[in-house]
Structure 1
Amino acid sequence: MPGTTTLWRPTGPAELDLVAASGWREWPPRLPEQPIFYPVLNVDYAIKIARDWNVPHSGAGFVTEFDVDTDFVSRYPVQQAGGRDILELWVPAEELPEFNRHIVGTIRVTHTFPETA
């Protein structure tokens, strides 16, 4: 069995609905204004985005966790998007179908942040 790398993805309800419709097996195609798919390398960064960005913009935020074949995912260099722990992979939108084929198992929701009153 190949080795896997765990990644996280903060997301809003619309994208999460599309993931659920796929049987929790793949990420939906990017929209025209989204040329890159950004999974992140640590859960704390994913939580911050889901809570501080997704909730105000879409009413809820979710953190998902998923595993990808390590040999495949190593083609994407780690990008430091800010501080030392703000690490992402930048997957071009046109490569997302192939990326999805290398997900091992299912995409799992690990944290949910509803809008607060």
Structure 2
Amino acid sequence: MTDTKTLYRPVGPKELKLIKESGWKAFPPRLPEQPIFYPVLNEEYACQIAKDWNVKASGSGYVTQFDVKANYLAQFEVQNVGGFIHDELWVPAENLEEFNQNIVGQIKVIHEFFPD
């Protein structure tokens, strides 16, 4: 049995479509202006981003949940970018394919947000 860590990723509808097209197995490559992939460590923070940023930017926001092999994640230092819930990992875009290979199981959508 592999030890895993549950992570979260807030996404908009375009990224969600690409995740679905992967069979719920992988996050899409980053755009050239996006050098870092930012999975977050807690559901509350992911919901905050999906509601406050993704809905405003693209009309809807989604929170994905997925498990990653813990031994793989050990190479990434936790980054706190604000309050006590604002913990995330900074995965270089060039490592995203390797990151995806260390996802165990499927990526799930656990929350959906739309404009009020």
TM-score (norm 1): 0.98
Moved over 6 A (4+): none
RMSD: 0.5
C-alpha deviation, 1:99, in angstroms: 0.3
Unaligned runs of 5+ in 1: none
Stretches of structure 2 that go unaligned for 5 or more consecutive residues are none
User: TM-score, normalized by length of structure 2?
Assistant: 0.98
**Counterpart-to-counterpart distance in 1, 2:51 and 2:84:** 20
Distance (Å, rounded) in 1 between the aligned partners of 2:78 and 2:51: 23
1:34 corresponding residue in structure 2: 34
2:13 equivalent to 1:16:
no
* Distance (Å, rounded) in 1 between the aligned partners of 2:84 and 2:59: 29
Identity value in percent: 58
For 1:17 and 1:74, the matched residues in 2 are separated by: 29
Deviations 1:34-69 (A, max 9, x none): 000000000000000000110010000000000000
Distance 1:93 1:74 in 2: 17
| CA–CA distance in structure 1, aligned partners of residues 90 and 60 of structure 2 | 24
